[in-house]
Amino acid sequence: MKQIAIFASGAGSNASKIIDHFRSHADIKVSLVVCNKPGAGVLDIAQKEGIPTLILEKEAFFRGSAYLEELRENGVDFIVLAGFLWKIPSALVKAYPGRIINIHPALLPKYGGKGMYGRFVHEAVVEAKETETGITIHYVDELYDHGQVIFQERVPVTPEDTPGTVAQKVHWLEHQHFPKIIEAVVAADAPANAHPANAHQANAAKSSDSRRSTDVT
Ligand code: GRF
């Protein structure tokens, strides 16, 4: 069974769709909901579903362990960012190579980067009189909204659209596609040596081996 942790800071409508999608899945399970905002709607959703939650503290996340130990203890194989606003620390990106996925509510590379989230994205799209917008699902690297694109889908923007109506259209697209794309990415992950905790331990063993061989020579 591959286990997913959903990282979310907000209402959690995407988290809810993802949880629904995998509720009876034979091979993939949402095993943890991670949040940096006590009281966020996504925590209520997790609680109703009986999914364990983890509240992040900023200091520990950015200057500490990035909660790697907790993720390992929970057997987390993949991390899905669904409205999570903090940048992912490099320790986490390295521990989960190719196994952190984000959704962005625009057609990256347009309207991405620091400060481009939620209504700010849709306001910018309307302000620029774009004729289309959409969603981007991508791997996460150490820069905001930058990793390799996995999937994009478009939706028209009309002169009558407001940031609010654009947000509705984009949310609809997200709910249609995000769970299915997560399923495809997780299912395609090679089973051998797949557990990031193992990969991390293997890397640690490799680097201590190389230190040892450097010491000897
Ligand atoms: C989504 O629009 C997603 O693209 C962005 O944050 C929003 C989260 O919405 N990254 P919700 O909390 O899932 O409703």
- With a cut of 90, say whether residue 200 has pLDDT above it: no
Residue 11, ligand 1, Cβ within 6 A = yes
Residue 3's beta-bridge partner residues? 29
Report the pLDDT value the prediction gives residue 2, as an integer from 0 to 100.
Answer: 96
- Catalytic residue annotation: 104
Q: What percent of the chain has pLDDT over 70?
A: 87
Q: What angle do CA 77, 48, 172 make, to 5 degrees?
A: 70
**pLDDT-derived band at 114, boundaries 50, 70, 90:** confident
Question: Which atom in ligand 1 lies closest to the alpha carbon of residue 41?
Answer: 12
Q: Tens digits of per-residue pLDDT, 162-177? A: 999 999 999 999 999 9
Residue 83, ligand 1, Cβ within 6 A = yes
Q: What angle do CA 156, 158, 163 make, to 5 degrees?
A: 90
Ligand 1: centre distance to CA 97 (Å): 23
Arithmetic mean of pLDDT over the chain: 88
Answer with the residue of higher pLDDT: 216 or 36: 36
CA distances (Å), origin 92, targets 65, 99, 141, 173, 206:
9, 10, 10, 28, 18
Q: What is the DSSP letter of 37?
A: S
Give nearest CA residue, ligand 1 atom 6.
83
Residue 105, ligand 1, Cβ within 6 A = yes
All structural domains of the chain with their residue ranges: 2-210
- With a cut of 60, say whether residue 217 has pLDDT above it: no
d(CA 90, CA 3): 21
Q: Tens digits of per-residue pLDDT, 141-156? A: 988 888 999 999 999 9
Best mean pLDDT range from 19-23, 142-146, 196-200: 19-23
Residue 103, ligand 1, Cβ within 6 A = yes
CATH of region 2-210:
3.40.50.170
Give nearest CA residue, ligand 1 atom 10.
83
DSSP letters spanning 52-108: -EEE--HHHHHHS-TTHHHHHHTT--EEEESS--SPPPHHHHHHSTT-EEEEESS-T
**pLDDT-derived band at 190, boundaries 50, 70, 90:** low
What is the maximum span of the chain, computed from C-alpha positions, in angstroms?
71
Sign of CA dihedral 88, 89, 92, 98: positive
Residue 133, ligand 1, Cβ within 6 A = no
pTM of the model: 0.86
Question: Which atom in ligand 1 lies closest to the alpha carbon of residue 9?
Answer: 12
Q: Position of tokens 């939620």?
A: 118
Ligand 1: centre distance to CA 118 (Å): 7
